């Protein structure tokens, strides 16, 4: 028992003093939790007392991590403290020990770690809710319209949609008290758009005429309705009603965020006139078949988009193998009698002959991870596939024109909140990493795409990968131009089909230097934190959490060669990189380009030459008489694109998979949040 207390005392450096209630001081941040899947002893359903016999102070020991089969959850916490298990009873080490508690959005959890199977890594300065509240408190001392408008953008960028709407109400009230015409035009125009949107958000749309036909065609059991969505589903045989309602709530949340973000960007989009149709598949295994039968787009998330009917199909479960294995493991645990609801609320069961304290703590931690993963997967699929639906319904892009793949996939990932990829390869196979993404929301970088973009440059797998110091200005311009044309020509998506990397002949020798290790990664305040880890420089890119591998080929339909996976990642990351730049820095040109696509004939497939010329005209890259593309302008545009992304701060941390419990201590007075971020940027560290 003493050994176990000492082990947990390492966590966060919090003194191992038992109390019955949470301390007055609040410690906030995010807890990164890694759970190794299908590890020996990790399932109490398979091994009674599998959580470890804590009374004896012995935990099962596993070999060093390396098989990559782990799930990772990033959990924001409101407080992290130490207290007894049963708070209505006194401390007795054998029957009511002291343990670390974590307060989260759904309740409380008792924490468990043995480092090998379950690793806990707190990060004390990344709680975006705390950052927003602190910045809002600072704003309240001056109460400027500009400052509050920036906070709205910040809240959306942090994926705090409800908070952004609260700030909008506050901004409306603030401007109503001011003399008309005194507010900046951008903010005044936004409030006009916001008022119009609020009336639309409150309006219940009529059901789309083809909803019943879809239900009949699929032989579905029922249809669930909300103000702006109809979900066609297969009833209790597929998913419980609570699961359907949770998805409806998430759909409505994303609907508001989608139009509100465009209003912040100065774009007043028309809202749909009919409810959007979403199909919730009966089983996860049905997604690929439905995609093939209904002519959907390739499955790269936990769902697929059907462009011509403008319908989304969502999976009832995660599609990634490791995530599904973990959820199946948890289902087996619940079948033995564990209460998921009680675990999430922080109500521990009694210790029995078959249930140790170790089992209780492990299951409480695992239930927290499961809850986070489920919410994350649902949000990721909706913000990717359903936003593609909204881009069509709002008239941004046409429904019946085959879009360039870079634009189609770039828009899909633009406002996507990605799901965590779990454990990824490190510099060497024996040094795997976890990713802690933060600040990915509406209008901020998709951290998985952004990281892959950076890694492509480091590994020199795109033309602009060579460090600037080692090439001439002319070569840099030519490389930037080559990369831009490759994206605009859908060269990388074509490479996924052919299996031939167009950049394979480029110089691939690794150059020392490149991105500085840990660049843009803020250290936790009040403690040494984690030392920055060098970017991964291995030959194989890490998996992208929102990207499922392509579905093989005719010869091997179930086998995906590593090269194809790499090419898919390259295609997705480069498409996102260009789309993100255009949406942030060239919104007028982007609007004009999409309008040109909307004006094209139905069912038209845009040729490469026409696509590039249309792009050049919309972004003022033609020569003075508009007869040809201006090479100087094209190169300058490409250089600015690359430079913009080079200057954008990173939105993730690479954290080593550890086999010890040493973690950074919390700041002495709680968590002084950093200064946050400006719109379109990422939170910065102190100073």
**pLDDT by residue (tens digit) across 299-344?**
888 999 999 999 999 999 999 888 999 999 999 999 999 999 999 9
**pLDDT by residue (tens digit) across 624-655?**
998 999 999 999 999 999 999 999 999 898 99
Residue 379 has pLDDT above 80, yes or no: yes
Residue 1 has pLDDT above 60, yes or no: no
Q: How confident is the model at residue 47 (pLDDT cuts 50, 70, 90)?
A: very low
With a pLDDT cut of 70, the percent of the chain lying above it is 79
Residue 478 has pLDDT above 60, yes or no: yes
Q: Order across the sheet with 303-306: list the strands.
A: 222-225, 229-233, 276-280, 311-314, 303-306
Q: How confident is the model at residue 294 (pLDDT cuts 50, 70, 90)?
A: confident
Q: How confident is the model at residue 517 (pLDDT cuts 50, 70, 90)?
A: very low
Q: What pLDDT shows up at residue 545?
A: 53
Q: What pLDDT shows up at residue 521?
A: 26
Q: What pLDDT shows up at residue 643?
A: 95
Residue 82 has pLDDT above 80, yes or no: yes
CA distances from 566 to 80, 135, 445, 561, 569 (A): 39, 40, 21, 9, 5
Residue 683 has pLDDT above 50, yes or no: no
**pLDDT by residue (tens digit) across 63-80?**
334 447 899 999 999 999
Determine the average pLDDT of the residues in 94-104.
Answer: 93
608 with 489: CB under 8 angstroms?
Answer: yes
Q: What pLDDT shows up at residue 32?
A: 94
Task: Give the whole-angstrom CA distance, residue 455 versus residue 537.
Answer: 7
Q: Is the dihedral of CA 509, 512, 514, 517 positive or negative?
A: positive
Q: What pLDDT shows up at residue 49?
A: 30
Helices then strands, counting H and E runs in the chain, come out as 20, 14
Specify the pTM.
0.85
Select, from the ranges 233-237, 526-530, 565-569, the one with the highest average predicted confidence (pLDDT): 565-569
Q: What pLDDT shows up at residue 445?
A: 95
Q: How confident is the model at residue 296 (pLDDT cuts 50, 70, 90)?
A: confident
Q: What pLDDT shows up at residue 6?
A: 37
Structure-block tokens of residue 138: 């600072």
Q: What pLDDT shows up at residue 34?
A: 93
Higher pLDDT, 513 or 365: 365
Determine the average pLDDT of the residues in 505-523.
Answer: 33
531 CB-contact burial (10 Å; exposed 0-12 / middle 13-18 / buried 19+): exposed
Determine the average pLDDT of the residues in 350-356.
Answer: 91
Residues in the chain: 687
Q: What pLDDT shows up at residue 505?
A: 64
Residue 503 has pLDDT above 80, yes or no: yes
Domain ranges in the chain are: 2-124+322-366, 405-654
Q: How confident is the model at residue 435 (pLDDT cuts 50, 70, 90)?
A: confident
Q: Do the strands 70-77 and 222-225 form a parallel or antiparallel pair, or are they unpaired?
A: unpaired
Residue 16 has pLDDT above 80, yes or no: no
């Amino acid at each position: 028992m003493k050994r176990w207390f000492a082990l947990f005392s390492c966590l966060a450096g919090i003194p191992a003093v038992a109390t019955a209630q949470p301390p007055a001081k609040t410690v906030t941040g995010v807890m990164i939790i890694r759970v190794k899947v299908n590890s020996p002893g990790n399932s109490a359903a398979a091994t009674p007392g599998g959580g470890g016999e804590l009374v004896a102070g012995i935990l099962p020991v596993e070999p060093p991590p390396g098989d990559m089969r782990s799930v990772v959850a990033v959990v924001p916490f409101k407080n992290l403290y130490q207290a007894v298990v049963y708070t209505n009873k006194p401390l007795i080490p054998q029957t009511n020990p002291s343990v670390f508690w974590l307060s989260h959005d759904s309740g409380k959890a008792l924490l468990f770690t043995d480092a090998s199977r379950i690793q806990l890594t707190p990060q004390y300065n990344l709680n975006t809710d705390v950052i927003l509240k602190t910045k809002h408190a600072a704003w309240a001392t001056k109460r400027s319209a500009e400052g509050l408008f920036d906070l709205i953008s910040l809240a959306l960028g942090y994926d705090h949609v409800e908070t952004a709407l609260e700030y909008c109400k506050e901004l409306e009230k603030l401007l109503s008290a001011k003399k008309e015409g005194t507010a900046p035009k951008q903010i005044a125009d936004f409030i006009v758009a916001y008022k119009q949107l609020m009336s639309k958000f409150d309006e219940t749309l009529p059901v789309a005429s083809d909803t019943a036909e879809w239900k009949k065609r699929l032989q579905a059991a029922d249809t669930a309705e909300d103000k702006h969505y109809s979900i066609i589903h297969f009833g209790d045989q597929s998913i419980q009603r609570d699961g359907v309602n949770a998805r409806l709530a998430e759909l409505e949340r994303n609907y508001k965020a989608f139009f509100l973000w465009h209003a912040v960007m100065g774009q007043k989009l028309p809202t749909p006139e009919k409810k959007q149709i979403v199909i919730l598949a009966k089983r996860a295994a049905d997604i690929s078949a439905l995609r093939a039968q209904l002519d959907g787009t390739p499955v790269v998330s936990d769902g697929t988009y059907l462009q011509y009917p403008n319908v989304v199909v969502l999976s009832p479960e995660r599609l990634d193998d490791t995530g599904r294995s973990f959820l199946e493991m948890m289902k087996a645990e619940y079948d033995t009698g564990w209460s998921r609801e009680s675990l999430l609320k922080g109500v521990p069961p009694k210790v029995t002959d078959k249930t140790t304290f170790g089992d209780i703590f492990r299951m409480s931690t695992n239930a927290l991870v499961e809850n986070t993963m489920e919410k994350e997967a649902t949000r990721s699929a909706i913000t990717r596939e359903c936003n593609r639906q909204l881009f069509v319904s709002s008239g941004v892009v046409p429904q019946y024109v085959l879009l360039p793949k870079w634009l189609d996939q770039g828009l899909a990932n633009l406002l996507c909140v990605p799901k965590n990829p779990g454990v990824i390869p490190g510099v060497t196979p024996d040094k795997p990493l976890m990713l802690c993404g933060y600040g990915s929301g509406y209008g901020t970088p998709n951290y998985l795409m952004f990281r892959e973009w950076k890694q492509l440059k480091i590994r020199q797998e795109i033309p602009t990968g060579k460090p600037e110091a080692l090439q001439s200005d002319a070569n840099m311009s030519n490389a930037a131009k080559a990369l831009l044309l490759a994206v605009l020509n859908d060269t990388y998506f074509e490479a996924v089909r052919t299996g031939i990397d167009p950049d394979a002949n480029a110089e691939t020798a690794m150059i020392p230097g490149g991105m500085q290790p840990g660049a843009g990664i803020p250290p936790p305040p009040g403690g040494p934190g984690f030392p920055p880890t060098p970017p991964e420089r291995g030959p194989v890119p890490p998996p992208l959490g929102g990207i499922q591998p392509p579905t093989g080929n005719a010869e091997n339909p179930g086998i995906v060669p590593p090269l194809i996976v790499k090419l898919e990642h390259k295609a997705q990351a480069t498409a996102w990189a260009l789309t993100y730049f255009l949406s942030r820095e060239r919104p007028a040109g982007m609007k004009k380009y999409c309008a040109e696509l909307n004006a094209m004939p139905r069912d038209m497939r845009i040729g490469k030459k026409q696509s590039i010329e249309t792009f050049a005209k919309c972004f003022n890259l033609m020569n003075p008489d508009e007869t040809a593309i201006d090479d100087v302008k094209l190169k300058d545009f490409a250089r600015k694109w690359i430079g913009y992304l080079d200057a954008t701060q990173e939105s993730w941390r690479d954290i080593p998979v550890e086999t010890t419990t040493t973690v950074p201590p919390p700041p002495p007075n709680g968590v002084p949040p950093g200064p946050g971020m400006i719109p379109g940027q990422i939170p910065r560290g102190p100073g």
